[in-house]
Amino acid sequence: MTSLRRLAMLALCGAFALGGCGRRAEPTNNLAALDRQLAANDADPAVTSAINDPILVDRNLANQSNRNAVRTAAGPAQAQYPPDAGKAAAPPCAAAPLESGLGWARRLPPEFPVYPGARLTEAAGTDAAPCRLRAVGFATSDPWDRVVGWYQNRGAAAGYDLGRRTREGDQILAGTKGDQAFYLIATPRDGGTEVSLIVAG
């Protein structure tokens, strides 16, 4: 009986040995197997699906992606009145009617003429008492820094107290001297600069 038991054990061991002959061990340098082990991609079907599925795009929604993005204003923002504006009288020039016409550009003070080589696009002004105001708009092919620098040098040479800042991409230069003032807005554009110049006094 022991020999029968021994024979059965040998037969069983032989069957296991022969069953393993057809299988090859997975090589240790198999990158796909290593990747599955490290990332556990084969363990979670949701992760596997998310990584392998194509990205879907809804063409109807693609143009709405920046619907709530901040955009610059079409023109310069209107200045707000100071908090006590209701108590004080309006500035004397606030009610002065402006007359339109390109001839007002020739009546700018000599310290602040239209930029050399610029193309005048609009002009307005008034000589109504007590206001003397000129406003011009023009475009030039020069970059904004050259235009602002030119007016900054002219304002300093004429004795104006100057201030300069950037607001939403516009370059602003302003200055005062006694009861005279000027305000320049230079807007960079492709191939040049658009300028608004206001001179009072």
Q: How far apart are the first and last CA of the chain?
A: 128
**Residue 194 falls inside a structural domain:** yes
* CB distance 129 to 102 below 8 Å: no
**Residue 123 falls inside a structural domain:** yes
Instruction: For 102-126, write each residue's pLDDT tens digit.
Output: 899 999 999 999 999 999 999 999 8
Question: What's CA 142's distance to the chain center, in Å?
Answer: 22
pLDDT the model gives residue 129: 73
**Residue 65 falls inside a structural domain:** no
pLDDT the model gives residue 7: 45
**Residue 176 falls inside a structural domain:** yes
DSSP 96-139: PPPEE-GGGGGGS-TTS-PPTT-EEEEEEEE--TT--EEEEEEE
**Residue 5 falls inside a structural domain:** no
Q: Residue 161: give the domain boundaries.
A: 99-200
Q: How many domains does the chain have?
A: 1
CA 85-89-95 angle, 5° bins = 105
Alpha carbon dihedral 32, 36, 41, 44, in 10-degree steps, equals: 140
pLDDT the model gives residue 161: 92
pLDDT the model gives residue 184: 93
**Residue 140 falls inside a structural domain:** yes
Whether this prediction's pTM lies above 0.75 is answered by no
**Residue 85 falls inside a structural domain:** no
Q: Is 172 exposed, middle or buried (0-12, 13-18, 19+ CB in 10 A)?
A: middle
pLDDT the model gives residue 97: 79
pLDDT the model gives residue 60: 65
pLDDT the model gives residue 1: 46
Exposure pattern of 4-29 as b/e (b: 16+ CB <10 Å)? Answer: eeeeeeeeeeeeeeeeeeeeeeeeee
pLDDT the model gives residue 168: 87
Instruction: For 59-88, write each residue's pLDDT tens digit.
Output: 666 555 555 555 555 555 554 444 444 454
**Residue 24 falls inside a structural domain:** no
Q: In which residue ranges of the chain is pLDDT below 50?
A: 1-4, 7-8, 10-20, 41, 79-86, 88
pLDDT the model gives residue 173: 92
Among the listed residues 144, 160, 150, the one whose alpha carbon sits nearest the alpha carbon of residue 195: 144
CATH number of the domain at 119, please: 3.30.310
d(CA 112, CA 148): 12
